[in-house]
Homo-oligomer: A and B are copies of this chain.
Amino acid sequence: MFSSRINKLQNTFGKNGIDAFFISNFYSILYLTGFKTLTNDEREAFVLVTKKNTYLFTDARYVFTNPGIILKLIEPGKGLFFHLEEILKEEQIQNIGIESEDLRVHEYEKLKTLFSSIKTISLERAMIKIRAVKEDSELANIQKACEITDQCLKEIIPTLVERDTEKGIAFRIEKWIKEHGHDLAFDPIVAIDEHSAIPHYNTKEGNGIIKNNSIILLDFGVKYNNYLSDITRMVFLHPTKEMIDTYSKLLEVQKKTIGIIGKEKDPRIIDSICRAGLKEKQLPDFPHSLGHGVGLEIHEYPKLSQMFDDSLIENHVVTVEPGVYFPDRWGMRIEDTVVVKNNGAEILTNFTKEPIIL
Query: Which residues of A are in contact with B by a Cβ distance under 8 Å?
Result: 37-42, 59-63, 76, 98, 100-106, 108-109, 122, 124, 167, 171, 174-175, 178-179, 181, 183, 186, 198-200, 202, 204, 287-288, 299, 306-307
CA distance A198 to B178 in the complex (A): 24
Q: Are A200 and B101 CB-contacts (below 8 A) given A61-B288, A175-B175, A287-B59?
A: no
How far is it, in angstroms, between the C-alpha of A198 and the C-alpha of B64 when the chains are bound?
Answer: 12
Given contacts A100-B105, A105-B103, A175-B175, contact A306 B39 (CB under 8 A): no
- Complex Cα spacing A109 to B109, Å: 12
* Contact A104-B106, Cβ < 8 Å, known A178-B174, A299-B42: no
Q: Give the chain B neighbours of A306 by CB distance below 8 A.
A: 76
Q: Which of B40, B100, B287, B307 contacts A61 (CB 8 A)?
A: B287
**CB pair B100 A122 closer than 8 Å:** no
Question: Which B residues are CB-close (under 8 A) to A105?
Answer: 98, 100-101, 103-105, 108, 122
A332 to chain B, nearest CB (A): 15
| Cα–Cα, bound, A74→B59 (Å) | 40
Chain B residues positioned under 8 Å from A199 (CB to CB): 61
Choose one: B76, B103, B287; the contact of A60 (CB below 8 Å).
B287
Q: Which residues of B contact A204 (CB under 8 A)?
A: 183
Chain B positions within 8 Å of A100 at CB level: 104-106, 109
Contacts of A62 on B, CB cut-off 8 Å?
A: 200
B-side contacts of A307, CB under 8 Å: 76
Residues of B within 8 A of A63 (CB): 198
* CB-nearest residue of chain B to A201: B38
**Known contacts A59-B287, A76-B306, A124-B106; is A202 also within 8 Å of B38 by CB?**
yes
Minimal beta-carbon separation of A258 from chain B (angstroms): 23
Measured in the bound complex, the distance between the Cα atoms of B104 and A202 in whole Å is 26
Assembly CA distance A11 to B269 (angstroms): 50
Contact for A101 among B104, B124, B179, B287, CB less than 8 A? B104
Min CB–CB distance A200 → chain B (angstroms): 4
Q: How far is it, in angstroms, between the C-alpha of A167 and the C-alpha of B200 when the chains are bound?
A: 31
A300 to chain B, nearest CB (A): 11
A102 neighbours in B (Cβ, 8 Å): 104
| A38, B124: Cβ atoms closer than 8 Å | no
| Contact assessment for B124 and A198 in the assembled complex, using a CB-CB cutoff below 8 Å | no
Known A61-B200, A63-B198; further 6 A-B contacts with Cβ < 8 A? A61-B199, A61-B288, A101-B105, A102-B104, A103-B105, A183-B204
A104 neighbours in B (Cβ, 8 Å)? 100-105
Nearest-neighbor residue (CB-CB) of A40 within chain B: B41
